[in-house]
Amino acid sequence: MDSGVAPDITGSLCAPWEHPLLGRLQSRVVMTAMTRSFAGPGHVATEAMAAYYARRAAHGVGLVLTESTAIAPVADGFPDAPRMHTRAQIESWRLVTDAVHEAGAQIFAQLLHAGRISHEDYTDGVQPVSATTRNADGINRRNGKPYAVPHALRADEMPAVYDEFCRASTAALGAGFDGVELHLAHGYLPDQFLDARVNDRSDAYGGSVENRCRFALDLTAAVLAECGANRVMVRISPSRWMNGTYDWPDLPAMLAYLIPSLDVLGLRMLDVSCARSDYFETSGRVIRMLRPLWPHLLLGGASLTAAEALAELDAGLLDLVTYGRLLLANPDLVERMRDGRPLVPFDNAMLDVLA
């Protein structure tokens, strides 16, 4: 597989880069968050996880975003996924942060509340919560069962969810993370409020664009107040692939309200994800819509060649470029792109091991 660029012309993509909030990064390549489900007993981080992340850092990745990490048992949605809840879970992450820092990269913890994209099998028997009482369509491929019927959060229950995110964020910083990424994307709890196909509420958290954005904005405001703008990133996925291109309803209106509102709150780092989709058909299209509204740090990519990534950087559309499955197949991706060497193609069997 061609790396998509000739030797020595990767320029700013693979070279060190300075940013006012992040400081010096050893490249502008970001290891994006990918669910792996290799946590140890009790949902703790392991030495194998530390080696997995550090290996990419040692080969030049500038910033690592961890796999989705549940903020509480009810927030989980996966078997054998790590959490940031108990003392043992929090302390176990020090293995990972120390290893990644020693290898030269920075690392953010991606914090998750899966909402209705879950089952009692993964929430320690607790009923999942959502914006709605409707369960997600289809069968959960992890346990072969229908998704759980969720409890619709009441307005008076929402501050407790924000508090859990704040507690997990503070815990992550205490475990050595350089920051946290709030997962507001991919159909998980905050996205269940943002998405009009899911959000069927008639209260202050449903209906209009402003109301559907309220939960995500209140959550972001709470964590920003707790941790500061230099420690908080938000991930959104207004367009992704779900048996076809799947956009938020009222996409232009949603972006026109949500993006400036995040700016006003003081957020300064935004990750636009496309969940294994073609970048130009999904998040790349969204980035071209929101970039005029967002003058701050912006991440995206996932499926770009080095040449395409350079073009997005040079055009000012992206500041950092995310890679996922290519980094699973090529832990030395940055070096291969820098040298113009061929890339190892991704194979689904690579998901069965943590290497």
Give the domain ranges of the chain. 17-23+30-49+61-274+281-300
Note the pLDDT tens digit of each residue in 241-279.
877 789 999 999 999 999 999 999 999 999 999 877 899
Q: Of the listed 188, 257, 279, 323, which one is catalytic?
A: 188
**Four-point Cα dihedral 301, 323, 294, 278, nearest 10:** 20
The residue assigned the tokens 């078997």 is: 79
Mean pLDDT of 274-294: 93
Distance CA 6, CA 219 (A): 44
The pLDDT assigned to 30 comes to 98
pLDDT, residue 6, reads: 43
Q: Take residue 186 and report the two structure tokens written for it.
A: 């991919």
- Judge whether residue 8 has pLDDT over 70: no
Among 110-119, 174-183, 268-277, which stretch is predicted with the lowest mean pLDDT? 268-277
Query: Torsion over CA of 117, 123, 126 and 132, rounded to 10 degrees?
Result: -10
Question: With b meaning 16 or more CB within 10 Å and e meaning fewer, what string describes 54-74?
Answer: bbbbbbbbbbbbbbbbbbbeb
- Under 8 Å between Cβ of 222 and 166: yes
Decide which of 3.90.650.10, 3.40.630.30, 3.40.50.300, 3.20.20.70 is the CATH code for 17-23+30-49+61-274+281-300.
Answer: 3.20.20.70
- H or E element that contains 323: strand 320-323
Flag whether pLDDT at 307 surpasses 90. Answer: yes
Decide if 188 is catalytic: yes
Q: How far apart are CA 117 and CA 141, in angstroms?
A: 11
In this structure, what DSSP letter does residue 25 have? E
